[in-house]
């Protein structure tokens, strides 16, 4: 083993000479087993000491130091998953792959987005379904994606042989995937990673009823046990049966008729797509056969009740006559959306596109046509309103429109009379105010002119005339005031 190690240092690490090899071994890096004990800083300190040795300094270039660091990093990963560390597993070709992995881990940045929380629209089954992908993007203290904490098997399976020139087995596909499957749930770093997963799960179910499943694991901060409790309580066979039933109801009973601008054809297609995704997830947990592409297209076409839209009706006919679209849900959906008319706001249309009703608001029925429907024109609770038939609802609507129309007309007419009276009085008052202001200005100007031009007779006569006009105006005003008082 010692000879193989010396050969490895000489040929793979390129130390080349015995003095370099002996100096590295004397520093403690003396076997394959010892390599897993050296971090990058330890290798740097060792090489620096060899270079600066007071009695016998030996040159070790940067390339040799870099290869030693990569080899020690690979040895630590192999030791963590119990893979053999030797000359073959740390060969030159595999070292290059390990170096790439090391750089990826070093440059990795956790996602800035928070974990998706459980809400009314984001159910617990969807949250648990996306959790592994979220944890796959976050690294723990061991440099391994946190998804290894919630993997199916707590005890790692047996290791497969390494691929040629790769530091991982063929079944793994990558070094990170192999670490996720084989990193043990014990040892240094496990407790910290397990507690991190618990904190993420706690944030995911905060303010939801599912938070109670984590209570008994709060003291130990056991993320794996908390995850298994959530799965057991919320993803049992009964829960998957409910998900399947809801998904089938969406595809079989929900319709689109184009009368609700808020419920577009694109949204209707998305709901069919989401229902299929729920069926697929359920089939991975219980025995259920998901519908094939032809069945999906059939359900989609049946759910579109829009014969009054020529473009959509023509698109449905084209899909049924085209095998490529008839057997491909995405192709058929895209073709329907492309031919669907754009939504236009229509305040008079009722929002009834999502479900079927007993009657259609578009019917042109009159009160005479609905004479057979007995209904009182009064307030109905929601429970009472649901018991009414379609004709009764329609007649109630017409009765209310007739009643509201008469009342509003009377109010508008009375309001109009009051408004016209107020406007007339306001105009007269403003006119009198303007005349009074003009007369005051003229009096002030005349009085000023009289005081300045006492000797000017022409001006005096003019001023006296103006004063007479003012006096006469005042007299007229006094007479009119007296008349008004006498009338009162």
pLDDT tens column, 84-122: 999 999 999 999 999 999 999 999 998 888 888 888 888
Is the distance from CB of 335 to CB of 306 less than 8 angstroms?
Answer: no
Cα 321 to chain center, whole Å? 38
Q: Is the per-residue pLDDT at 391 higher than 90?
A: no
Examine residue 328 and state whether it is found in any structural domain, yes or no: yes
Examine residue 118 and state whether it is found in any structural domain, yes or no: no
Please, what is the angle between helix 2-11 and helix 18-26, to 10°?
120
One domain for residues 130 and 230: yes
One domain for residues 206 and 139: yes
CB contact set of 155 (below 8 Å; sequence gap of 6+): none
DSSP assignment letter at 113: S
Cα 156 to chain center, whole Å? 36
Which of 102, 106, 107 is closest to 72 using CA atoms? 102
Domain boundary among 283, 317, 339: 339
The percent of the chain in helix, strand and coil, each rounded to the nearest 5, is: 60, 0, 35
Which domain covers residue 264, as residue numbers?
Answer: 238-339
What is the band of 346 on the pLDDT scale with cuts at 50, 70, 90? Answer: very low
Three-class SS of residue 228? Answer: helix
Domain boundary among 317, 339, 361: 339
pLDDT for residue 349:
42
Report the number of distinct structural domains present in the chain.
4
Examine residue 113 and state whether it is found in any structural domain, yes or no: no
- What are the distances in angstroms from CA 32 to CA 59, 67, 86, 268, 353? 23, 14, 6, 62, 71
Q: Side-chain half-sphere of 378: how many Cα atoms within 13 Å? A: 6
Three-class SS of residue 145? Answer: strand
Which of 147, 122, 119 is closest to 133 using CA atoms? 147
Examine residue 318 and state whether it is found in any structural domain, yes or no: yes
One domain for residues 37 and 20: yes
One domain for residues 207 and 143: yes
Highest mean pLDDT among 95-99, 356-360, 417-421: 95-99
What tokens does 481 get?
């005031």
One domain for residues 156 and 247: no
| DSSP code string of 382-444 | HHHHHTS-HHHHHHHHHHHHHHHHHHHHHHHHHHHHHHHHHHHHHHHHHHHHHHHHHHHHHHH
pLDDT, average across residues 448-454: 61
| DSSP code string of 299-314 | HHHHTB--TT-HHHHH
Rounded Cα distance, 213 and 208, in Å: 10
Q: Is the per-residue pLDDT at 338 higher than 60?
A: yes
One domain for residues 227 and 254: no
Three-class SS of residue 139? Answer: strand
pLDDT for residue 360:
46
pLDDT for residue 359:
46
Domain boundary among 321, 339, 357: 339
pLDDT, average across residues 61-86: 94
One domain for residues 10 and 87: yes
Rounded Cα distance, 282 and 285, in Å: 5
One domain for residues 229 and 260: no
Is the distance from CB of 319 to CB of 283 less than 8 angstroms?
Answer: no
Is the distance from CB of 284 to CB of 296 less than 8 angstroms?
Answer: no
What tokens does 188 get?
């240094």
Examine residue 351 and state whether it is found in any structural domain, yes or no: no
Rounded Cα distance, 329 and 326, in Å: 7
Q: Side-chain half-sphere of 206: how many Cα atoms within 13 Å? A: 10
Rounded Cα distance, 9 and 17, in Å: 9
pLDDT for residue 286:
82
One domain for residues 204 and 276: no
Examine residue 269 and state whether it is found in any structural domain, yes or no: yes
Rounded Cα distance, 9 and 18, in Å: 10
What is the band of 186 on the pLDDT scale with cuts at 50, 70, 90? Answer: very high
Q: Spell out a b/e string for 396-414, using b for 16 or more CB atoms within 10 Å of the CB, else e.
A: bbbbeeeeeeeeeeeeeee
One domain for residues 223 and 248: no
One domain for residues 134 and 74: no
Q: Is the per-residue pLDDT at 460 higher than 60?
A: no
Examine residue 53 and state whether it is found in any structural domain, yes or no: yes
pLDDT for residue 304:
92
pLDDT digits (tens, 9 = 90+) for 51-62: 998 888 899 999
One domain for residues 137 and 97: no
Examine residue 66 and state whether it is found in any structural domain, yes or no: yes
């Amino acid at each position: 083993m010692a000879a193989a190690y010396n050969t490895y240092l000489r040929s793979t690490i390129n130390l080349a000479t015995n003095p370099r090899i002996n100096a590295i071994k004397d520093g403690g890096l003396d076997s394959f087993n010892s390599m897993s004990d050296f971090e990058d800083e330890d290798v740097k300190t060792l090489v620096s000491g060899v270079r600066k040795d007071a009695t016998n300094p030996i040159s070790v270039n940067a390339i040799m130091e870099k290869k030693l660091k990569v080899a020690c990093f690979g040895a630590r990963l192999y030791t963590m998953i119990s893979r053999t560390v030797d000359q073959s597993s740390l060969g030159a070709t595999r070292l290059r792959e390990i170096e790439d992995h090391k750089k990826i881990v070093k440059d990795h940045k956790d996602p800035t987005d928070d974990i998706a929380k459980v809400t009314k629209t984001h159910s617990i089954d969807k949250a648990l379904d996306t959790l592994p992908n979220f944890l796959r993007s976050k690294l723990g203290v061991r440099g391994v994606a946190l998804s290894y904490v919630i993997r199916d098997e707590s005890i790692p399976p047996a290791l497969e042989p390494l691929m040629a020139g790769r530091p991982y087995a063929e079944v793994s596909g990558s070094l990170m995937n192999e670490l996720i499957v084989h990193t043990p749930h014990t040892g240094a770093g496990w407790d910290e990673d397990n507690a991190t997963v618990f904190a993420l799960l706690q944030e995911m179910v905060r303010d939801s009823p599912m938070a109670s499943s984590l209570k008994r694991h709060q003291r130990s901060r056991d993320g794996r046990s908390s995850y298994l409790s959530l799965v057991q309580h919320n993803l049992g066979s009964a829960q998957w049966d409910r998900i399947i039933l809801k998904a089938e109801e969406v595809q079989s009973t929900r319709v689109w008729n184009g009368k609700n601008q808020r419920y577009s054809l694109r949204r209707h297609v998305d709901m069919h797509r989401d229902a299929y995704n729920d069926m697929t997830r359920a089939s991975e947990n219980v025995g259920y056969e998901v519908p094939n592409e032809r069945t999906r297209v059939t359900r989609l076409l049946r759910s579109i009740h829009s014969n009054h839209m020529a473009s959509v009706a023509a698109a449905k006919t084209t899909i049924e006559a085209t095998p490529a679209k008839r057997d491909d849900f995405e192709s058929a959906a895209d073709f329907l959306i492309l031919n669907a008319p754009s939504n236009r706001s229509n305040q008079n249309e009722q929002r009834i596109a999502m479900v079927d009703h007993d009657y259609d608001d578009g019917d042109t029925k009159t009160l005479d046509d609905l004479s057979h429907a007995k209904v009182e024109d009064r307030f109905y609770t929601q429970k009472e309103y649901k018991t009414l038939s379609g004709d009764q609802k329609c007649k109630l609507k017409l009765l209310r429109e007739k009643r509201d129309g008469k009342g509003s007309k009377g109010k508008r007419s009375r309001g109009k009379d009051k408004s016209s009276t107020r406007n007339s009085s306001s105009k007269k008052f403003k006119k009198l105010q303007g005349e009074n202001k003009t007369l005051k200005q003229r009096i002030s100007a005349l009085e000023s002119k009289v005081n300045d031009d006492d000797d000017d007779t022409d001006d005096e006569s003019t001023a006296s005339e103006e004063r007479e006009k003012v006096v006469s105006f005042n007299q007229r005003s006094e007479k009119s005031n007296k008349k008004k008082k006498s009338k009162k």
